[in-house]
């Protein structure tokens, strides 16, 4: 708290300095701008403090939970998917490039979801509110992971083949896009991260960007 009040004092001091050196018309403009900058500054300080302490902003968690509480978001998988995309983009302060890449959300928020959403996803829209209200979201990673899983559930095409490591998990199709823009369809276990090629050999080659795969792409490759 002491930080905030000293900031406010500094802001006041700097405002009076500006005022003394300007004409009356410019004075009011400077004051307005200065106040606005101070408010944003304090908000950022609070956010940074919480992030340092690894405390997830309550307002952010509330906004996240509201997505699955809002009936219009639950009208279709498309709307539900887009509600998360909007939430992530709006809260870019928390969903930094690092967090987006770490949880592959950078890809999931960029794809044209209507080309990828499957006809019967693994989640049921009318149960989403109950499912997500149970989750504990202690830090941004937990929240990002939860969103990643929800989005993937809506776009995953399963291969019909079980993971050789964690045997009750069905492998899903993914597409890797390499730096030179070439791509490859692979099979991945969402639980343990096992990846194999379409012939069933373990995949160890250098990685690229991981995309979901849509029906048309699978038809082309397999
Ligand atoms: Zn596995």
Joined tokens for residue 87: 């939430």
User: pTM for this structure?
Assistant: 0.75
Judged on CB neighbours under 10 Å (0-12, 13-18, 19+), 134 is: exposed
How much distance in Å is there from the Cα of 200 to the middle of ligand 1?
13
What pLDDT is recorded for position 54?
54
Residues 6 or more apart in contact with residue 33 via CB below 8 angstroms: none
| pLDDT tens digits for range 49-66 | 666 555 678 889 999 999
How much distance in Å is there from the Cα of 163 to the middle of ligand 1?
5
How much distance in Å is there from the Cα of 186 to the middle of ligand 1?
14
Domain count along the chain? 3
Shared domain for 213 and 166, answered yes or no, is yes
How much distance in Å is there from the Cα of 128 to the middle of ligand 1?
25
Boundary of a domain, candidates 101, 123, 155: 155
Q: Domain limits at 28?
A: 2-52
Shared domain for 34 and 75, answered yes or no, is no
Boundary of a domain, candidates 155, 181, 200: 155
Q: What is the dihedral of CA 161, 101, 59, 44, to 10 degrees?
A: 170
Shared domain for 165 and 101, answered yes or no, is no
Kindly tell me if the per-residue pLDDT of 97 is higher than 70. yes
What pLDDT is recorded for position 58?
85
Between 144 and 44, the more confident residue is: 144
How much distance in Å is there from the Cα of 191 to the middle of ligand 1?
5
Tell me the mean pLDDT in the region 75-84. Answer: 98
Shared domain for 215 and 129, answered yes or no, is no
Shared domain for 8 and 32, answered yes or no, is yes
Shared domain for 150 and 164, answered yes or no, is no
What is d(CA 33, CA 216) in angstroms, rounded to the nearest whole number?
Answer: 52
Kindly tell me if the per-residue pLDDT of 157 is higher than 70. yes
Q: Where residue 125 falls among pLDDT bands split at 50, 70, 90? A: very high
How much distance in Å is there from the Cα of 203 to the middle of ligand 1?
13
Residue among 150, 137, 146, 149 at smallest CA distance from 58: 137
Tell me the mean pLDDT in the region 108-115. Answer: 96
Shared domain for 193 and 116, answered yes or no, is no
């Amino acid at each position: 708290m002491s930080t905030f009040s000293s900031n406010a004092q500094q802001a006041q001091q700097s405002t009076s300095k500006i005022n003394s050196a300007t004409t009356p018309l410019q004075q009011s403009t400077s004051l307005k701008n200065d106040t606005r900058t101070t408010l944003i500054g304090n908000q950022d300080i609070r956010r940074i403090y919480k992030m340092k302490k690894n405390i997830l902003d309550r307002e952010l968690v509330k906004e996240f939970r509201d997505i699955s509480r809002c009936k219009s978001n639950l009208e279709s998988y498309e709307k539900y998917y887009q509600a998360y995309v909007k939430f992530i983009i709006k809260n870019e302060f928390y969903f930094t490039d690092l967090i987006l890449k770490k949880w592959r959300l950078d890809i999931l928020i960029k794809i044209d979801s209507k080309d990828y959403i499957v006809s019967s996803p693994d989640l049921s829209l009318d149960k989403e509110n109950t499912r997500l209200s149970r989750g504990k979201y202690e830090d941004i990673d937990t929240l990002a992971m939860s969103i990643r899983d929800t989005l993937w559930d809506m776009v995953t095409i399963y291969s019909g083949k079980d993971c050789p490591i964690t045997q009750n998990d069905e492998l899903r199709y993914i597409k890797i896009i390499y730096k030179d823009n070439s791509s490859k369809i692979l099979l991945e276990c969402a639980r343990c991260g096992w990846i194999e090629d379409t012939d069933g050999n373990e995949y160890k080659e250098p990685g690229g960007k991981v995309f979901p795969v849509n029906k048309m792409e699978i038809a082309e490759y397999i």
